[in-house]
Amino acid sequence: MERLTERATDLFGTSCIQLKACGYELCRETCDKQDGKYGCKNCPIEKALEKLAEYEDLEEQGKLLKLPCAVGDTIYEIYSDNIKEHKVDEVSTHSIWIDNMYFDHADIGQNIFLTQEEAQAALSELQR
C-alpha cells in the first residue's frame, strides 16, 4: 500500500505528521484557519494522522496482520453433500479453530468458506 502520510517538521521545528498529498502549505493553512496558530500540534486531525502513520509504519515493517475472520464470525464448511455453519472460536496468524477443529488459512476457499454464497457455489461445483 502506498503511504498516505509523511513525517515532517513544522515551522517551529516540531516533528509532525502530514498527509503526503496535501503538502505542508495546505496543512499550515488548515491549522491557521482552525485557531490562528501555526504548528501541527494545534492541528485538529493530528491524532488521526498519527494513528494512520503508525499503521503504515507497521505495514512497511511486515508487522501488520490482516486476519481472514474474527472470533465469533460465522464460517461455512462443506461436509459430505451439505454446508455446515460454524462460529469461529479462535483465530491466529496461521489457523482457525471451530468446534475443537483446526483449519489452516489455506483451507479457506477449499473446504471452508467465509460466506454462505461461496460455500454454495463450491458445493454446486462439486456436485457436477
C-beta separation of 86 from 73 below 8 A = no
What is the DSSP-derived secondary structure letter of residue 127?
T
| Phi, psi of 73, rounded to the nearest 5 degrees | -65, 155
Residue-wise pLDDT for 63-105, tens only, equals 888 889 999 999 999 988 899 999 999 999 889 999 888 999 9
Residue-wise pLDDT for 19-41, tens only, equals 766 555 556 666 666 555 555 56
| Predicted pLDDT at 25 | 59
